[in-house]
């Protein structure tokens, strides 16, 4: 199948001007400006097939939004090629955005002062949505997203969760074949998050829309996406199944032990003491090195145990570790070109 997004060697370099300080500096800035080059996106290549739901993650400033902005035609790339649903986004803007949708969690796409119904009605005319398609989608989304209680409220008076639901509805009314979701669950409570995830899943599976999801909330990705792209310093570090990534890096487990008596020093082969709190000791160990049962056996041979519990390292911590310790750099997964 022809990929719906195809990106090759895409780069975006920004000039960041260093300003002179003070009043005199303001005049110096006019004639003598120095700048630094920031490579926000640096030779990125990937493809997305129709119907995929891909998580696009990375630490702050990694180049996620810059990539999305290029894919939606808001930015012109410095170099590289891309094709979105057969179009070159920045050049064929109108044709391209007709087929795509976008939700930016940080800001609304709706009209601030207009009631929701008016906003939706405007979108119907903007995208030229046939009446029957509009009515079917509108009624359906209204129900799933539970929009009825605030349909006549202007956007400015909506809560964050309500606004996000409204924005999601708006992004899908014209049956887009590709949708960019940028932090759609930011700042929401557990219930609201779940409602939005359910909706995303529904759209992807029932409507067959391709979705590129950018998020900081790894649980979004874990619940929704099979495939993830990890970007850092403008380069793609990982492109593959989240499960594979977790199998390689998420093998850290914790053993919480409550001893029956106080031991001043506890030694356990293949495990590290993380924390000691009276009789309570937390060990960490690698799934690959030793199994939990073996470890517990080894422990109970030498010490009297009253209670214990085994925990896997939370995914958030695994991903954070991958970012912070740059675990993917020079790893076989590393998608970057080998250093010259």
Residues near other proteins (CB under 8 A)? 12, 14-15, 66, 69, 72-76, 90, 93-95, 97-98, 102, 104, 107, 109, 111, 113-114, 118, 122, 125-128, 154
**CA 161 – CA 105 distance, rounded (Å):** 10
- Shortest distance, position 118 Cβ to other proteins, whole Å: 6
Enumerate the β-bridge partners of residue 239: 229
Q: Give min distance, CB of 102 to other proteins, in A.
A: 6
Q: Least Å distance between CB 167 and other proteins?
A: 11
Least distance in angstroms from the C-beta of 33 to other proteins? 12
Specify the length of the chain in residues. 340
Neighbours of 51 (CB within 10 A): 15
Instruction: Tell me how far apart the alpha carbons of residues 171 and 180 are, in angstroms, rounded to a whole number.
Output: 9
Report in angstroms how near the CB of residue 3 gets to other proteins at its nearest: 22
Residue 115 per-residue DSSP state: B
First to last CA, the chain: 34
- What Å distances lie between residue 34 and 11, 30, 333, CA to CA? 22, 11, 38
Of residues 74 and 305, the one with the C-beta less far from other proteins = 74
The smaller minimum CB distance to other proteins, of residues 158 and 295, is found at 158
The edge-to-edge listing of strands for the beta sheet with 5-18 is 34-48, 5-18, 79-84
Kindly tell me which of 32 and 324 has the beta carbon lying closer to other proteins: 32
Nearer to other proteins, 180 or 285 (CB): 180
Nearest CB to other proteins, comparing residues 97 and 328? 97
Nearest CB to other proteins, comparing residues 87 and 333:
87
- By beta-carbon proximity to other proteins, the closer residue of 171 and 228 is 171
Contact status, residue 214 vs residue 58, Cβ threshold 8 Å: no
Q: Please tell me what DSSP assigns to residue 149.
A: G
Secondary structure (3-state) at 30: helix
Dmax of the chain from CA atoms?
A: 78
CB of 145 to other proteins, least distance (A): 20
Give yes or no for a contact between 55 and 225, defined as CB atoms under 8 angstroms apart.
Answer: yes
CB 237 to other proteins: min, Å = 24
């Amino acid at each position: 199948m022809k990929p719906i997004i195809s990106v090759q060697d895409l780069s975006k370099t920004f000039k960041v001007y260093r300003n002179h300080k003070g009043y005199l500096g303001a005049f110096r800035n006019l004639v003598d400006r120095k700048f630094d080059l920031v490579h926000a996106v640096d030779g990125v290549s990937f493809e997305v097939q129709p119907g995929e739901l891909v998580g696009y993650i990375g630490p702050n400033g990694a180049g996620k939004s810059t990539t999305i902005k290029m894919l939606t035609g808001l930015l012109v790339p410095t170099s590289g090629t891309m094709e979105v649903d057969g179009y070159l986004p920045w050049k064929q803007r109108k044709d391209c955005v007709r087929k795509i949708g976008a939700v930016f969690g940080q800001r609304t796409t709706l009209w601030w002062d207009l009631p929701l119904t008016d906003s939706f009605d405007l979108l119907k005319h903007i995208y030229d949505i046939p009446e029957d398609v509009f009515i079917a989608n509108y009624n359906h989304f209204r129900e799933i997203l539970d929009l009825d209680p605030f349909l006549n409220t202007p956007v400015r008076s909506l809560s964050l969760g309500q606004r996000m639901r409204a924005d999601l509805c708006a992004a899908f009314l014209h049956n887009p074949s590709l949708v960019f979701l940028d932090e759609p669950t930011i700042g929401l409570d557990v219930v609201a998050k779940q409602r939005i995830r359910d909706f995303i899943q529904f759209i992807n599976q029932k409507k067959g829309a391709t979705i590129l999801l950018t998020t900081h909330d790894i649980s979004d990705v874990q619940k929704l996406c099979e495939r993830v792209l990890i970007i850092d310093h403008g380069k793609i570090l990982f492109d593959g199944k989240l499960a594979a990534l977790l199998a390689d890096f998420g093998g850290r487990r914790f053993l919480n032990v409550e001893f029956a008596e106080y031991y001043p020093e506890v030694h356990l082969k293949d495990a590290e003491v993380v924390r000691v709190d009276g009789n309570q000791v937390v060990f960490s160990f690698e799934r690959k090195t030793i199994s939990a049962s073996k470890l517990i056996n080894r422990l109970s041979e030498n010490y009297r145990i009253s209670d214990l519990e085994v925990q896997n390292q939370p995914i958030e911590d695994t991903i954070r570790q991958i970012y912070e310790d740059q675990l993917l750099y020079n790893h076989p997964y590393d998608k970057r070109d080998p250093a010259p």
